[in-house]
Amino acid sequence: MDILKIFIPWTVAFFIGIVMTPFLTHYLYKYKMWKKKSGKAGGLGDNNGTPIFNELHKEKDTGTPRMGGIIIWGSVLTTTFIFWLLPYLFPDALTQKLDFMSRTQTWLPLFTLVSASLLGLVDDFWVVFGKGGYVAGGIPLKIRIGVVLLIGLIGGWWFYSKLGVTSIDIPFNGVWELGVWFIPFFMMVMLALFSTGVIDGIDGLSGGIMASIFSAYAGIAFFQNQINLAAFCAVIVGGILAFLWFNIPPARFYMSETGILGLTTTLTVVAFLTGHVLILPIIAFPLFITTASVIIQVFSKKLRNGKKVFLVAPIHHHFEALGWPSYKVTMRFWIIGIIFSILGMIIALIA
């Protein structure tokens, strides 16, 4: 029955996402919900304002709508509501079992997903309808960071006050007691994952990577007997796969901030709920290596008189600049993501 509790909502979320897509696509194309100029200008990293990046993306940003991430969180929210409502409409042992809403396991990740996704949606509208040619990020970065930290503060407080969590597990080395410092630590992890949103830069890339990451944490939660959390992660994967069906090259729409921001912040909550936050750099290796490439590039240019390590950062654009087709970059990142997700699961289960 626990397996059904995971796979049935997973499948339902996928088909809800598929059904939602024609309606969302009609709206996005009707109102031309895409950037009015390709490329980026200003900001951190080579992908903001370099000729190489803008040349690579001169025909990609315009004509393809943003906000495809609505498919993900929209299908997750709808699926969660359906399985929460079913026991009231059709009281039965099966419908009660399939309801995965739980105060200790799913309330916080669902709140995080919706709140962060709505922030991303506002940012996407700002990018689409902003004035002045290139729009380098919609809502100012400082404001986005502030809101992410606020969500992190609420999340950290919930863990500390409501769930009584004050420590984290160190693989193969016991427990690290943090006390009240658990809250700022939680906030910093969420901020670090927020920075990994730069991976959303090639058709299909972020969707495939996120699907493998949440699948890994669904597996970890299942083996920990956190069945509700496992079901919630599976529902997210179902929504991602529905999005990915339409996002593989050539993409019908991009995930953009309303998708990637919701997923990265929710991933923080899920990792802490499983107790395996320190394995995140392994399970989510493609995310962290992407952010690391930007940091390396920035410091290299500042400390080495403008010399760069990569042709363009993040690193997936470096491979594009080398002449790799975007689909080759995407599929190889998928493979790496799957391998490291499985490796992270193994460590979580034996640590």
Which of the 8 DSSP states describes residue 170? -
What pLDDT sits at residue 56?
62
What whole-number percentage of the chain has pLDDT above 70? 91
pTM (predicted TM-score): 0.93
* pLDDT tens digit sequence for 202-257: 999 999 999 999 999 999 999 999 999 999 999 999 999 999 999 988 899 999 99
d(CA 149, CA 155): 10
* pLDDT tens digit sequence for 81-103: 999 999 999 999 999 999 999 99
What pLDDT sits at residue 1?
76
Asked whether residue 53 carries a pLDDT value surpassing 80, the answer given is no
Q: How confident is the model at residue 51 (pLDDT cuts 50, 70, 90)?
A: low
- pLDDT, mean over the chain: 91
Cα angle: 264, vertex 269, 273; to 5 degrees: 145
* pLDDT tens digit sequence for 202-211: 999 999 999 9
Please state the φ and ψ torsions of residue 169, each to the nearest 5 degrees: -85, 135
Domain segments of the chain as ranges: 2-350
What pLDDT sits at residue 62?
73
Which of the 8 DSSP states describes residue 1? -
What pLDDT sits at residue 80?
98
CA atoms within 13 A on the CB side of 307: 4
Closest CA relative to residue 315, chosen from 199, 146, 151, 233: 199
Q: Which residue has the tokens 């930290």?
A: 149
Asked whether residue 41 carries a pLDDT value surpassing 90, the answer given is no
| Average pLDDT for 318-339 | 95
Asked whether residue 160 carries a pLDDT value surpassing 90, the answer given is yes
d(CA 264, CA 91): 35
Amino acid at 94: L
